[in-house]
Amino acid sequence: MRIVLVGPPGAGKGTQAQFIASHLSIPKISTGDIFRANVSGGTELGVLAKQYMDKGDLVPDEVTVAMVRDRIHQEDAVGGFLLDGFPRNVPQAETLNAMLAEDGLHLDRVLQLEVDNEEVIRRLSGRRTCSACQRIWHVEFDEGRDDVCDDCGGRLFQRDDDKEEVVRHRLDVYEEQTAPIVSFYDKEGILLPIDATGSVEEVTARALGALRS
């Protein structure tokens, strides 16, 4: 199955991606995670991406698209994948369709995670990410997980772009540039809107239920 996850920052895309992808035995491909790995590795791509990410702006399409093209052609993604954070605007969505069509493929489903801005701010202000395995935690909702990852013992960190003013800008960028892909996929008849409030487990169950329907 080839699936895209879309939703505002903090909707729970990364959190759900890790569970849905493992349930379906497909790789989770997060453009945000790939950029962050390059930033911490100090690569040329990381240096470039950081300038945009720190402000909450999108990294230029040509850079992002080339990275995704390369990733979805790797061995583990041949049978399917779950994209988290890509596409992020209509040109990226059109390019993804064209890229898949070149291989005689298409997207099966687009899961849209719906939450309001108040919940987004609450979720992002308490988010912690594992520096070793990238697992996402929350200081309030995952009690006691504010320092060390329960899964692998890695150090947890707070993302630079989770500062309040950057979060507000990321929400504006979502509304202006990313939200239009929702109607793009709705017109294609592959959009599945999911209520992303409630517990992580409830949202995963809704998403898996919708994918089975």
Residues that bind ligand AP5 (CB under 6 A): 7, 9-15, 31-32, 35, 52-53, 56-59, 64, 85-86, 88, 92, 123-124, 126-127, 136-138, 141, 161, 170, 198-200, 203
Q: Which of 149, 166, 191, 203 binds Zn ion (CB under 5 A)?
A: 149
* Annotated binding-site residue? 14: yes
Least Cβ distance, residue 56 to ligand AP5 (angstroms): 5
**What span, in angstroms and rounded, lies between the C-alpha atoms of 197 and 202?**
8
The residue with tokens 């997060």 is 30
Residue 15 binding partner per list ligand AP5, Zn ion, none, with a CB distance cut-off of 5 to 8 Å that depends on partner kind: ligand AP5
- Rounded to 5°, the CA angle 87-62-12 comes to 25
Active site residue 69: no
Count of positions (residues) in the chain: 213
Check if the beta carbon of residue 17 is closer than 8 Å to that of residue 208.
no
Site for Zn ion in 8-67 (CB under 5 A): none
Closer Cβ to ligand AP5, 80 or 126, answer by number: 126
**DSSP label at residue 107:** -
Nearer to ligand AP5 by Cβ, of 104 and 142: the residue is 142
Reading the block at residue 103, the tokens are: 């291989």
Q: What is the C-alpha end-to-end distance of the chain, expressed in Å?
A: 14
Question: In this complex, which beta carbon is closest to ligand AP5, that of residue 108 or of residue 140?
Answer: 140
Residue 151 contacts Zn ion per CB under 5 A: yes
CA gap 8, 6 in Å, rounded: 7
- 157 near Zn ion (CB under 5 A): no
CA distances from 59 to 36, 42, 92, 124 (A): 12, 16, 12, 20
Q: Of ligand AP5, Zn ion, none, which one does residue 137 interact with (CB within 5 to 8 Å by kind)? A: ligand AP5
Q: Which of ligand AP5, Zn ion, none does residue 152 bind to, with CB < 5 to 8 Å depending on kind? A: Zn ion
Q: How far apart are CA 126 and CA 146, in angstroms?
A: 9
Residue 121 zone, left/alpha/beta (φ > 0; ψ -120 to 50; rest): alpha
Residue closer to Zn ion, measured from CB, 106 or 155: 155
CA distances to 88, 117, 144 from 175, in Å = 11, 11, 33
* 14 touches, from Zn ion, ligand AP5, none (C-beta below 5 to 8 Å by class): ligand AP5
Q: Which residues are catalytic?
A: 13, 88, 127, 159, 170
Residues that bind Zn ion (CB under 5 A): 130, 132-133, 135, 149, 151-152, 154
